Amino acid sequence: METTIKKAPLIASEVIKKRPLIISGPCSAETEEQVMETAQQLADTGLVDVLRAGIWKPRTRPGSFEGVGTKGLPWLQQARKQTGLPVAVEVATAKQVEDALHFDVDILWIGARTTVNPFSVQEVADALRGVKVPVLIKNPINPDLELWIGAVERVAKAGITEIGLIHRGFSNYGNTEYRNAPMWHLAIEMKRRNPGMMLINDPSHICGRRDILLEVAQKAIDLDFDGIMVESHIDPDNAWSDAKQQITPGQIKEMINAIHWRKEDVNSEEFHQVLEKLRQQINHLDDEMMQILGQRMKVAEKIGEYKKNNDVVILQTNRWNEILERAYKKADPLGLSKEFITRYLDAVHMESINHQNRIMNS
Ligand code: PEP
Ligand code: MN
């Protein structure tokens, strides 16, 4: 490394209040040189607030690179000194917490594979007792909001006051567009249940590939997320983990500059009046839909009554297919996606069945 300027690392508690908060760095610390070079290039963009790097890697299958371990921590300590960027590391055990803190790691995060396991989260939380450090908690790999909330509660009970959330998507079976389905509604619901808690998006682990990182990051920013965590590597194709989704520090700069950072609000009377009117229209339509759904359930109950009198089962699979096919045809010209219609009708149909079931067994 050529650069010799040493900067006093910024205070993590201050840095994490910045909006938008940008965290970047390699999926894994691999070598001292890779860490130092990545850190310097990221710092040079002037756009990155926190340097991330995985030291212990929870890999799905054994035999993959499982992280350099504790020997990588002095590299991060050095990078922190060199660039002034606070550093963030994933921890999953008490020993990892202890080692990370010993080497001045500023921010800890709990990974998706750890959030699913209350024993591990509790172990990490216990190790954090009496420590003042910001902790970011990734969503669990499965779409279970309670587990995510449980992890937040365990860490909070240990006395940690600076807690943030990272939305990194949810596992699914088979190949899909995303490595991890974003299920934005879960992140939004988590935010609603934890008002005021920082929520950032991790497009790298959602996408699993480079070409749609910007699109996902933009969506998160449009949904008023507080920032993003994106993986970067000086030689992405040859990264020891998550090679397909990493981008160079130069590309990080391009991406951040390409994002349209919209305002959260605007100080104009007219804007608020127009918005209020449109929102009233939405409320009105929601009320109408509620009325119609109520009527639909009444009809379902009548069907239930009729089937009961004729002693036939509730569910006729053909009928369900017919409902879906009809709806898809009608939804398309209205600009409603197949995915939305399926989810909507699934909920409505299920409720209908429950109503019929109650009638049949009454
Ligand atoms: C990571 O951030 O490199 C990581 C392992 O992420 P996740 O816990 O979201 O899989
Ligand atoms: Mn990764």
- Residue 154 Cβ contacting ligand 1 at under 6 Å: no
Q: What three-state secondary structure class fits 166? A: strand
Q: How far is the CA of 302 from the centre of ligand 1 (A)?
A: 51
pLDDT at residue 210 above 80?
yes
Kindly report the protein residue whose alpha carbon is nearest to atom 6 of ligand 1: 111
How many residues in total does the chain contain?
362
Residue 306 CA from chain centroid, whole number: 47
DSSP character at residue 164: E
Query: pLDDT (tens digit, 9 = 90+) per residue, 82-96?
Result: 999 999 999 999 999
Give the atom of ligand 1 at the shortest distance from the alpha carbon of 58: 5
Give the atom of ligand 1 at the shortest distance from the alpha carbon of 114: 8
20 band by pLDDT with thresholds 50, 70 and 90: very high
9 band by pLDDT with thresholds 50, 70 and 90: low
Strands (E), the chain: 21-25, 50-52, 87-90, 107-110, 135-138, 163-167, 198-201, 227-231
pTM of the model: 0.85
- Residue 27 Cβ contacting ligand 1 at under 6 Å: yes
Determine the average pLDDT of the residues in 65-82: 97
Percent of the chain having pLDDT more than 90?
87
Q: How far is the CA of 29 from the centre of ligand 2 (A)?
A: 11
- Residue 141 Cβ contacting ligand 1 at under 6 Å: no
Measured from the Cβ of residue 301, the count of other Cβ atoms closer than 10 Å reads 15
Here the tokens at position 326 are 């009809």
Residues near 329 by Cβ (< 8 Å), separated by ≥ 6?
none
Lowest mean pLDDT among 6-15, 160-169, 214-223: 6-15
Q: What Rg do the C-alpha atoms of the chain give, in angstroms?
A: 25
Kindly report the protein residue whose alpha carbon is nearest to atom 10 of ligand 1: 112
Give the atom of ligand 1 at the shortest distance from the alpha carbon of 166: 9
Mean pLDDT of all residues belonging to the chain: 94
Query: pLDDT (tens digit, 9 = 90+) per residue, 101-160?
Result: 999 999 999 999 999 999 999 999 999 999 999 999 999 999 999 999 999 999 999 999
Residue 21, φ and ψ in degrees, nearest 5 = -95, 125
Determine the average pLDDT of the residues in 161-184: 93
Lowest mean pLDDT among 119-128, 201-210, 351-360: 351-360
- Evaluate whether 187 touches 200 at the Cβ level (below 8 Å): no
- Residue 230 Cβ contacting ligand 1 at under 6 Å: no
| Dihedral Cα 351, 173, 235, 2, nearest 10 deg | 60
pLDDT at residue 1 above 50?
no
Kindly report the protein residue whose alpha carbon is nearest to atom 9 of ligand 1: 112
- Evaluate whether 49 touches 75 at the Cβ level (below 8 Å): no
Query: pLDDT (tens digit, 9 = 90+) per residue, 272-313?
Result: 999 999 999 999 999 999 999 999 999 999 999 999 999 998
Determine the average pLDDT of the residues in 28-33: 98
- Residue 168 Cβ contacting ligand 1 at under 6 Å: yes
List helix spans (H) across 265-362.
269-310, 317-331, 338-360
The strand pairing partners of 32, in sequence order, are none
Give the atom of ligand 1 at the shortest distance from the alpha carbon of 242: 3
Residue 136, φ and ψ in degrees, nearest 5 = -105, 135
Kindly report the protein residue whose alpha carbon is nearest to atom 4 of ligand 1: 111
- Residue 25 Cβ contacting ligand 1 at under 6 Å: no
